[in-house]
Structure 1
Amino acid sequence: MKILIVEDEPQMLNNMKQTLELEHYTVETADDFDQAASKISNYEYDCILLDINLPDGNGLELLNNLKDMGKTEGVIIVSARNSLDDRIEGLNKGADDYLAKPFHMAELHARVKAVLRRRNFEGNKTIKLGDVEVEPESRSVSVNGQPIALNRKEYDILSYLITNRARLVTKAALAEHVWGDHIDQADSFDFIYSQIKNLRKKLENSSIAIDAVYGIGYKLDVNA
């Protein structure tokens, strides 16, 4: 799962990033309005943690931009401004939740999990596709009740394909979503091919197949 943190206070930004990375999220950051606007426009995220008070703009305007573009990312407003009017305005503009500073990182994690569960997995704690069962909170996968061991990237790829199982996922979108900012360091998609190959092997006796569409990307196929 991929998260964008929009926060201008360096220590807070670093604490949030470290906390979420410990939970195996792919985390990107933006510390001002323009950088956040560029990332929101060019990339997709599962959840955006959005500060209202930015040095060069208002976070609520970014929320407006997000909705105007027809994007469906989950949004949690994270701000020291805790007035009722701010909270109502943010929720009316389409935010999923509002977390007032200061807060415990455990609460942040719980709020993020809840938004991701509602947005990506229809509120379910367990996803079943044929004989495959996935538990996002524990990042565990089983086939016919038998657990299979996936490394972090294999799980992230499977999770992204499940979330987007109704559509074809391009190689570029998959790479950017799973590897985040680090994708800029890659000069080919060989690292995706390797992870997909291993994931297919581990799922070869399941009802899930990862179909390749030559030159484009991948699509998840679930046999009844």
Structure 2
Amino acid sequence: MKVLLVEDNQEMILNIIKYLSQEGIICEVAENLFEAQDKILSYEYDCILLDLTLPDGNGLGLLNSIKGLESKPNVLIISAKNSLEDKLQGLDLGADDYLPKPFHLAELLARIKAIYRRTKLGGTEVLKFEEIEVEYQNLKASVHGKPLDLTKKEFDLLVFLITNKNRVLGKNAIAQHLWGDYTDNLSNFDFVYQHIKNLRKKISEGGGHDYLSTVYGIGYKFGPIQS
């Protein structure tokens, strides 16, 4: 999972990044609205953690920009502004949840996971595609009920592919989602190919079908086998 933290408090930024990173979540940062707008137009995120009080304006303005995106990230507002008006306005503009400051990092993580489970996993911890089954919370995957021995990145890649089935995913997009926005500047994405290759091999050895097709010059597409 990859999130964008829109926040200008340095201590909070460091604490959130450290905590989420320990949970295997990629956390990118924007410290103002201008930087946040630039990032959401350039990269894709599963969730945006949005403070409302930013140096260059109210964070609610960012929600209008998100509405126009083809791939809309979820939004969790995290703010010391805890008035009912702010909360209702944020939810009305499309935010998925509202967490007032101060909060425990464990609750922040729980809210992020709940949003992801509700919007990406259909409200369940178990993600299924044909003979492939993924237990998201337990980091387990299986084919025909037989466990797959996947690395953390291979597991995240499988979840990313299933939750984006029937969609063409560029190597760049896969790299950004699993390793962070800095990969945008890389000239070589052979490491993506290697992870794709390893995942394919392990699913095949487990008795599963290969649902990945290569889209020449672009990337990959995961979906039902065409007859």
* One-letter amino acid matched to 1:142: S
Q: Which moved more, 1:99-108 or 1:123-132?
A: 123-132
Distance in 1 (alpha carbons) for counterparts of 2:128 and 2:64? 35
When the two structures are aligned, how many residues end up with a matched partner? 224
Q: Which structure 2 segments of 5+ residues have no match?
A: none
Structure 1's 221 and 97: CA in aligned 2 closer, same or farther, altered over 3 A? same
Moved over 6 A (4+): none
Q: Is the 8 A contact 1:91 1:97 kept in 2?
A: yes
CA distance in 2, matches of 1:113, 1:78: 15
**Contact 2:43–2:181 under 8 Å retained in 1:** no
User: Retained in 2: the 8 A contact 1:130–1:207?
Assistant: no
Alignment partner, residue 74 of structure 1:
74
- Taking a change above 3 Å as real, the CA distance of residues 192 and 145 of structure 1, as seen in their structure-2 partners, is same
Q: Is the 8 A contact 1:208 1:222 kept in 2?
A: no
Alignment-derived partner of residue 200 in structure 2 = 200
Structure 1 residue runs without a partner (length 5+): none
Q: Does the 8 Å CA contact 1:132/1:207 hold for their aligned counterparts?
A: no
Q: Distance in 2 between matches of 1:18 and 1:166?
A: 34
Counterparts of 1:138 and 1:182, CA distance in 2: 28
TM-score under structure 1 length normalisation? 0.95
Q: What secondary structure, in the 3-state scheme, does the structure 2 residue paired with 1:75 have?
A: strand
Identity of aligned residues (%): 49
1:3/1:47 contact within 8 Å kept: yes
- Partner secondary structure for residue 113 of structure 1: helix
1:209, CA displacement in angstroms? 2.4
Preserved CA contact (<8 Å) 2:172 2:183: no
Distance of aligned partners of 1:180 and 1:148 in 2 relative to their CA distance in 1, 3 Å threshold: same
Shift of 1:172: 1.8
Q: CA deviation at 1:91?
A: 0.3
RMSD: 1.6
Distance 1:108 1:133, change over 3 A: same
Give TM-score, length-normalised by structure 2.
0.93
Residues 58-137 of structure 1 mapped to structure 2, 5 A cutoff: 58-137=58-137
Q: Which residue of 1 aligns with 2:221?
A: 219
